[in-house]
Amino acid sequence: MIDLGFSVLCSSLIFVVFKLFDTYKVQTLFAIITNYVVACATGLFFYESGVNLATIPAKPWFFGTLVLGVLFIVIFNIMAKTAQTVGVSVASVATKMSLVIPVLVGVIAYEEQLSFLKVIGILLAMAAVYFASMKERDFKFSKNTLILPILVFLGSGIIDASINYFRQTALTEDEFPLFSATVFGAAAISGFVFIGLKAMKQSLKINVKNILGGLALGIPNYFSIFFLLRALQNNVLNSASVFTLNNVAIVMFSTLLGILLFKEKLGTKNWLGIGMAIASILLVALF
């Protein structure tokens, strides 16, 4: 549970850093690529066995990390487009509701058992994510805009399910730092390719604020994955419970941080969502 708590803390700090990006006019795309470089370096630093780069391609999880790295960049850009086109709340809901995918994969592929009360808790968690994220006026969807949150939902869920798959089938606990570093390294390389293609159309300038923003984002980003992997090793909670607790606690804690640090105002539906989040955590954790 301590590892899960640290994962929630680090993930919530990511939202705080994103909020500060807007305050200090940091360009998110460039900062996120710097963040992947920092996260990769952090993972290599904490890998105690020493790093031999030549042996990494021989790891059974190597090609999977390349795919995950590309997914990180692609889904991030789709999330940004969703927030700009449909709204921040819709992007947030689509991201966190994706917990359904790793939960279902855990039940079907790994034959994890869910009690009736845990099922109720997971359903409450999804409702909590929706209500806690409703901070904008209702948006009328068209067929063209609906595809964006659907892609965010599927992409985020596939990432979480893939991380759990590698943890189940190919990873040893001492490889967690190296695995995380390789994923972030692949994401960084994908980002550099994306920027290189963009530079062919317009000149790009190095901005110190973007680099500092990437540094501030990279360390909690790395540890959010690292501690999630450790939490999934929990002998008491199955992966379905861990993903549910992780996602709903992130929504609740980041919402509370928004109130305390940025004086954000919450409506009745938001408080209802927080209440549902607390109830879902109790149901999933205790039963």
Q: State yes or no: pLDDT of 138 exceeds 80.
A: no
Pair 114, 107: CB distance under 8 Å: yes
pLDDT band (50, 70, 90) for residue 77: confident
Q: What is the enclosing helix (H) or strand (E) of 203?
A: none
Pair 213, 31: CB distance under 8 Å: yes
Q: What is the 3-state secondary structure (H, E, C) of 90-157?
A: HHHHHHHHCCHHHHHHHHHHCCCCCCHHHHHHHHHHHHHHHHHCCCCCCCCCCHHHHHHHHHHHHHHH
Query: Region 54-70: what's the mean pLDDT?
Result: 91
- Highest-scoring range by mean pLDDT, 7-16, 46-55, 128-137: 7-16
Q: State yes or no: pLDDT of 261 exceeds 80.
A: yes
- Highest-scoring range by mean pLDDT, 124-128, 175-179, 247-251, 278-282: 175-179
pLDDT band (50, 70, 90) for residue 88: low
Which tens digit of pLDDT belongs to each residue from 189-218? 998 988 888 777 766 667 888 899 999 999
State the pLDDT at residue 200. 76
- Residue 241 belongs to what domain range? 2-286
Q: What is the 3-state secondary structure (H, E, C) of 18-86?
A: HHHHHHCCCCHHHHHHHHHHHHHHHHHHHCCCCCCHHHHHHCCCHHHHHHHHHHHHHHHHHHHHHHHHC
pTM score of the predicted model:
0.83
pLDDT band (50, 70, 90) for residue 84: low
State the pLDDT at residue 287. 66
The CA distance from 166 to 172, in Å, is 10
State the pLDDT at residue 144. 61
Between residues 44 and 89, the one the model is more confident about: 44
* Count of structural domains, the chain: 1
pLDDT band (50, 70, 90) for residue 143: low
**Would the CA dihedral through 39, 214, 67, 8 be positive or negative?**
positive
Q: State yes or no: pLDDT of 140 exceeds 80.
A: no
Burial class (CB in 10 A: 0-12, 13-18, 19+), 249: buried
Q: State yes or no: pLDDT of 141 exceeds 70.
A: no
pLDDT band (50, 70, 90) for residue 284: confident
State percent of the chain over pLDDT 70.
91
Burial class (CB in 10 A: 0-12, 13-18, 19+), 197: exposed
